[in-house]
Each structure stands twice: as C-alpha cells, then as structure tokens.
Amino acid sequence: MNFEAVRAIYGFEMARWGRTLMQSILSPVLSTSLYFIVFGAAIGSRITQIDGVPYGAFIVPGLVMLMLLTESTSNASFGIYFPRFAGTIYELLSAPISPFEIVLGYVGAAATKSVILGLIILATASLFVPLRIAHPFWMVSFLVLTAVTFSLFGFIIGIWADGFEKLQIIPMLVLMPLTFLGGTFYSINMLPPFWQTVTLFNPIVYLISGFRWSFYEVSDVHVGVSLAMTLAFLSVCLVIVWWIFKTGYRIKA
Amino acid sequence: MNPIISVKDVHKTYASGHVALKTVNLDIRQSEIFALLGPNGAGKTTLISIICGIVNPSGGTVTVNGHDIARDYRAARSMIGLVPQELSTEMFESVWATVSFSRGLFGKKADPAYIEKVLRDLSLWDKKDARIMTLSGGMKRRVLIAKALAHEPRILFLDEPTAGVDVELRKDMWEIVRTLREGGVTVILTTHYIEEAEEMADRVGVIAKGELILVQEKTELMLKLGKKQLTIELQKPLAEIPPSLAAHALELAPGGHTLVFTYDTQADRTGITALLNDMREAGIGFKDLATSQSSLEDIFVDLVRQSR
C-alpha cells in the first residue's frame, strides 16, 4: 500500500478546495438559504405539517441530500477530469500506485468535502428551523455513505466525460430532476398512487427517505430498504470503477 | 552486467488500427545515456510510454531492473522518472506544491531539503511559490524535470527534452544529465535533433516507422557509417576533372576552385596518398586541405531513407 501517494492525492485535492474555499462553501450555503426562504418561509407557512413534522424542518434532510449529491458528483468528476484534460494524468499512470489508491485519494477527498459541506448546510438550516436528529449515528452514516457513493459516481463521470459540457450534463439532466422528484420537498405519500409507484424507481427516493428517517423517524420507505439501496448503488459504482481500471477505459491506450 | 531495462518483443497497435510499434527488442545498460533517435511519429513516445506504464503494450514484456512492468509495477515504476514531451502541468498549483506532490505520488516521504536541492539545481528556487501558469515555457519544462527528479529515480526518461527550449536551459539540462549519470542514473532521451544525441549519448538507437533499425555505440556508429571528405582548394581553377584523376572519387565544386574527395575511414587504404601523387604528376597545385566527418545527421538521414 502506497500511503504516501494516497496522502499526496488527498492533500492535493483538499488544497485545491482550500484555494477556492469561499466559492466552494458560499454558493451551496447561499442556494440552501434561498430554498429555505422560498419553500420554508414563504410557501411553507401555508402548508400544514407533513407526517407530524413542520414543513420547514421536513425539507432540511432533502436539501442536504440535494447538495450532497450535486457537490459530491461535481467535485469528484472535476478532480479526475482535470488531470485528464491538462495531460497531467501521465504522472498518475506512471506512478507506483494501484487503482484502489488512486480512487481512495480522489474519492476520499471529494467525499470529505461534501460531508463538511453537508454539515455546514445543516448548521445553516438550524438557523432557520428547529432541528431534531433522532438517530445521529444513522444520520452521519447516511451522510458519509451517500457522499462516498456519489463521489464514486462523479469519479466515473470524470473518466467518461470527454469535454467540460459532459461534466455538467449528468448532474444537471439526471441528478437534479431525480432529486427534485425524489421527495426533497414533499412526501411521496402526497402523490396519486400511480406516481407513487413510478417514484419508487427513482433511486434518490431511498436516499432521501432514509436520511429523513434518521432525523424525524418518518419515511416513505422502510429505512432498511433505504440502506440496502444505498449500499447497492455503492456496489454498482465500485464495479464500474473496477472495470474502468481493468480495461483502462479512457485513461490508458 | 544485466541490463537495467529489457524490452522483449514489444509491439503496439492502437485501437484505431494504427501500428505504432512493430516488434521491438532493446536492452538499456545501467548508467548509460541512451538516445532514441527518430523522426516524428516513429514510435519513440509510444515505446517510452509503454515502459513507464502509460500505454499498454499489445504484446511482449518489459522488465526494469528485473521487475516486470505489469506484474511488479510498483517496484518497476518507483525507479523511473519521466519528463513528458507535452508541457502538461497543474497550472493552478505552485511549483513547490506540484514537485512535492510528485514525490509523494511515488511513495517517498516528504523531504523538503531534497526538493529544495532539486529546485536550486534547476534554477527554480526563486519561483517556488509562483503559480505554474505564470511561468514561461522553458520554466515549465524545468518544473517537469523537477517533478521527474523529485522521487530520486534511478532511471530518467526525457521525451524530446529540448523541444522549444532556449540555449541556456539546454546547457543546464546537459549539466544535470551528466551529474545524474555520474551518480549512476540511467538516462534515456528521445530526440529528433541529431546534435543532442551526438553531444550526449553513449549509445544511439534509431527508430523509424515503429521499427528499431539499429542500436549502436555512438562512436562506433559514426566510425562505421562515417565517411570523411577531403576538400582541396586549388591554386588555379579547373574546367573539368582531368582524365588522369578520373579513377578517384572526386567531385569538382562549381567554379572549379575546389575538389572534393570522399573516402572511407574504415578502409585499409583511404586513397589520399595516391590522389595527391596523381595530382602532382598532373601538375595541379593546391593551396589548402581540409577534412570533415559526416555528422550523425547525415548517417541518420541515410538510414531512414534506406528503411523506406
């Protein structure tokens, strides 16, 4: 195990984040605050409680998930795409380092950033609404699991993308809609039965539901199912990453 | 002595169908400076990239100090430093950060004193906190060399090191290469500039169209293929070569003031004495003589032409 290399990549990626700390933190915090003002304060005041939880508090786990998914994906995808774009990936490929260590460095750094961001957003949210966390252990577990999973997902996109546009497409066209339709702002029980069934095909539903359960013990699907789905998605990403390095897909001629 | 790098039956066909390397066999000796010479697109970079682990060979094996580059990649790669042809840098990083990063990537513990030495040797010390994007092309090249040296490699690959580099850096670079070699480092450089190989290399490999045409000691190569020319400045111009001298390989330069005699340094008899005797008998006086050796460039151009 080449620990020095993992440390080098991790440190390098964290330093990159540190250089742009203001915009990295400010923009997610600002957009989350906007959601709270619009959905929480303006609209939320006209909505009754959902499952016994005030609307403003109800959307907090969904919003944290929304940020977690987009930030993990974009951070990790950019982290590995940029060396490919700039050509500096030659150094990674010629270094005495295994694929596992490369992934550990890049995905570890991306996941760390999004966990920190998630906690900052939670702190921001607590300024707007009273928060209650019923199961802190599971809350943190879901937070970390999701951050790791979607950082892996971002890593895959960063390898797949062959232009800056493609880097944006998946987060914008797939992740964002699925998150909005995945119960960020509502309980899927509020939908007509047909759409409830359709929604169950959206993997993000399980993430948000499980995460929300760790706060308020209310959920759209059973928390065990949520956990299983999260782990399943994590496994799928791991298999794809394994395949990428096995075949050298888009990184090695 | 066992070769430090051994390339056996390596060939490479890219997914596009382009055959970059036909079967290549090559041994690199410890602590030598080896120049891989060839025109653009000959397969120099592909060969280097395969040895360094950036490109997968289509077949064949490479060992570095006995370590197979696929099975035992950690041991093999940790010995190698690579300076790529392209100026690929982490443009937003500082020089210090990027060079330290390289050392870590190769599994070496941080050693600020060593990094400082590398940067000083490359005249980069006063730029250590500068962002790479603010540096000139020559400075970026120095940064790439510093990165390659950051983990104290035993083998250094320089892919077209002097492309777009000014005279000063070129001199510095040769100085560094010589120092490294004295310390036992093996240096492999690719170039299409002959002077580079001629000036630096112990051995030269000529590659064209994916084939290693020949590998030879530089001096031997120049001896073997080197023809010499004797230039004779005449006292009086000649209209044509007189029949009495026709037996000699002579050319009359335009204007008739100069005769050029081409001879083989390897031959038992160069024919110079006979020529001078015949000239005296013919009553042709000369005022000056000069000899010149064909450069590696001429040899190289000949070789590549022959291989076509």
Q: Is residue A167 part of a domain?
A: yes
Overall domain count for chain A? 1
For A217, left (φ over 0), alpha (ψ -120 to 50), or beta? left
What DSSP state is assigned to residue B93?
A: S
pTM of the model: 0.83
Q: What percent of chain B has pLDDT over 90?
A: 48
Q: DSSP for chain A?
A: --HHHHHHHHHHHHHHHHHTHHHHHHHHHHHHHHHIIIIIIIIGGGS--BTTB-HHHHHHHHHHHHHHHHHHHHHHHHHHHHHHHHTTHHHHHHSS--HHHHHHHHHHHHHHHHHHHHHHHHHHHHHHS----S-HHHHHHHHHHHHHHHHHHHHHHHHH-SSHHHHHHHIIIIIHHHHHTTTSSS-GGGS-HHHHHHHTT-HHHHHHHHHHHHHHS--SS-HHHHHHHHHHHHHHHHHHHHHHHHHTTTT--
What DSSP state is assigned to residue B295?
A: P
Helix (H, G, I), strand (E, B) or coil at B20: strand
Q: What is the mean pLDDT of residues B188-213?
A: 85
* Per-residue pLDDT tens digits for A172-197: 888 888 888 888 888 888 888 888 88
Query: Residue ranges of the domains in chain B?
Result: 5-222, 226-307
Query: Residue B307's pLDDT is what?
Result: 64
CATH numeric code, B5-222 = 3.40.50.300
Closest residue in A to B77 (Cα) is A96
Helix (H, G, I), strand (E, B) or coil at B279: helix
Q: What percent of chain B has pLDDT over 70?
A: 94
Residue B17 forms beta bridges with which residues? none
Q: DSSP for B227-275?
A: EEEEEEEESS--SS--GGGTTS-EEEPTTSSEEEEEEETTSS--SHHHH
Q: What is the mean pLDDT of residues B71-94?
A: 92
**With contacts defined as CB-CB under 8 Å, which chain A residues touch B11?**
none
**With contacts defined as CB-CB under 8 Å, which chain A residues touch B78?**
96
Which residues 208-237 of B have a C-beta within 8 angstroms of A? none
Q: What is the mean pLDDT of residues A54-66?
A: 88
Give whichever of A59-63, A67-71, A83-87, A146-150 has the largest mean pLDDT. A146-150
Helix (H, G, I), strand (E, B) or coil at B123: coil
Closest residue in A to B108 (Cα) is A4
Helix (H, G, I), strand (E, B) or coil at B2: coil
Q: How far apart are CA B206 and CA B43, in angstroms?
A: 11
Lookup result for tokens 């998930």: A65
Please name the residues in contact with A11: beta carbons below 8 A apart, sequence gap of 6 or more: B101, B104
8 Å CB contact between B217 and B202: yes
8 Å CB contact between A175 and A99: no
Statement: residue A237 has pLDDT above 70: yes
Strands in B59-64's sheet, in edge-to-edge order, are B19-28, B5-13, B59-64, B67-68
Q: What is the mean pLDDT of residues A130-141?
A: 91
Q: Is residue A52 part of a domain?
A: yes
CATH numeric code, B226-307 = 3.30.70
Answer yes or no: do B74 and A9 touch at CB < 8 A.
Answer: no
Q: Is residue A253 part of a domain?
A: no
Q: What is the mean pLDDT of residues B118-126?
A: 92
Q: Among B55, B80, B109, whose Cβ lies nearest the Cβ of A253?
A: B55
The domain in which residue A99 lies consists of: 3-247
Q: How far apart are CA B247 and CA A138, in angstroms?
A: 99
Answer yes or no: do A96 and B74 touch at CB < 8 A.
Answer: yes
* Per-residue pLDDT tens digits for B42-56: 899 999 999 999 999
More confident residue, B175 or A101: A101
Statement: residue B86 has pLDDT above 70: yes
- Residue in B50, B46, B80, B87 with CA at minimum distance from that of residue B65: B80
Query: Residue B94's pLDDT is what?
Result: 94
Statement: residue B1 has pLDDT above 80: no
**With contacts defined as CB-CB under 8 Å, which chain A residues touch B50?**
none
Least confident among A193-202, B161-170, B272-281: B161-170
Which residues 74-103 of B have a C-beta within 8 angstroms of A? 74-78, 80, 82, 84, 86, 88-93, 97, 100-103
Q: Which of A3, A10, A23, A88 would best serve as a mutation to test chain B binding (most B beta carbons within 10 A)?
A: A88
